[in-house]
Amino acid sequence: MIYLDNAATTRPCPAALDAMRTALEDAWGNPSALYRPGQQARKLVEDARRTVARVLHAARPAEITFTSGGTESDVQALYTGAALGAAAGKRHIISTQIEHHAVLHPMQQLEAQGFEVTYLQPDETGFVSVETLKAALRPDTILVSIMMVNNESGAVMPIAEMVRATRRLAPLALFHTDAVQGFLKVPFKAKTLGADLISISGHKVHGPKGVGALYIKPGLPLPAFIHGGGQEGNFRSGTENVPGICGFSAAVAATDAAADIAKMARLRDLARELLPEVPGLVLIGAQEAPHIVNLSLPGVRSQGIINCLQSEGIFVSAGSACSKGHRSHVLEAMKLAPAVIDGSVRVSFSAENEEQDVYALREALWKAKQTLKG
């Protein structure tokens, strides 16, 4: 099997599996309990918080709130940030047309509640510029949410510059970035990036599904998102997912980010060199992220390509794996031709992939083109 859909999910690494097994078998107590089994679980959660904070380069472990994944982290950031703005009488929000649906759908809900949302348009490569953001910022802007890395085009946004522009032109606005595709793929430090809120996910970095985190900059008076027992600093109540949190932190700790990024970038560059040898194949988007390559065979349907590759033991996706049955809103926002969009396929690498996977992909795409064109 050649798995090339790592932007959708990754194989849990051995360290993550071992940590989850330990938590399930040896530290199964409720981490809010004061007796020994509960405190054993609590220690694992707090050790994990320190690990994620260290790798994310947060100033303090308390800045990390564990969640059920990237989607919840996004929703927490957007709803609590908007609530803070509404309390101050400001209701203008900025995002982009190419966000993950975990951001776009909550934005639609906020619009229904009376917020005004400006959606920035990317260029033909999927990139959103600082100048585009500057033109949209207003004195009543209370929240900006722009993803760090686009999950389809591989475009990498200049988040640090965008944060600085926001501070100058809308000083009261909070800045959130969905870094689910950026964490351990694009180097950044939370404490110097400047963003107020950063979303990350476990299963994109060889951890388990069902766990993620939200970085919250110190001093933000965010209202509680989930009320109840007061867990996670009284921001996100509910008994913590101890095995998931342990698996997440173990995967993070086991990652050699610099080496992995370099390897994925080599595979991406090899793909960009080899795949255009397939007749009619075109590459799509900026492809700046080290792990994402988007390609198209115009005139051939994506699902047909995916089926042909699957028959060769190669697994890829058409756009975001989280939204099926619809034409890609990202590629539409990039103003690509319908035939290009309909024939698009996303390839995404991890450090587990090797060069021979790229060569096999080229041969399988060549065969798919011949088969599907009849």
**Residue indicated by tokens 């988040």:** 159
Identify the CA nearest to 348 among candidates 3, 4, 1.
Answer: 4
Amino acid at 205: V
Which residues are annotated as catalytic? 322
Cβ(147)–Cβ(177) under 8 Å?
yes
Query: Following DSSP, what letter does each residue of 248-309 receive, concatenated?
Result: HHHHHHH--HHHHHHHHHHHHHHHHHHGGGSTT-EEES---STTEEEEE-TTS-HHHHHHHH
Contacts of residue 239, defined as CB under 8 A and 6 or more positions apart, other chains included, come to: 30, 31, 32, 229, 231
Identify the CA nearest to 306 among candidates 21, 95, 5.
Answer: 5
Cα 20 from Cα 372, distance rounded (Å): 44
Amino acid at 374: G
Cα 251 from Cα 61, distance rounded (Å): 17
Cβ(231)–Cβ(271) under 8 Å?
no
Query: Following DSSP, what letter does each residue of 30-60 receive, concatenated?
Result: -TT-SSHHHHHHHHHHHHHHHHHHHHHT-S-
Query: What is the number of helices (H) and of strands (E) in the chain?
Result: 13, 12
Cα 161 from Cα 76, distance rounded (Å): 24
Residue 348 bridge partners (DSSP): 5, 292
Number of Cβ atoms within 10 Å of the Cβ of 211: 28
How crowded is the C-beta side of 227, counted as CA atoms within 13 Å? Answer: 1
Residue 293 bridge partners (DSSP): 347
Identify the CA nearest to 72 among candidates 257, 242, 199, 237.
Answer: 199
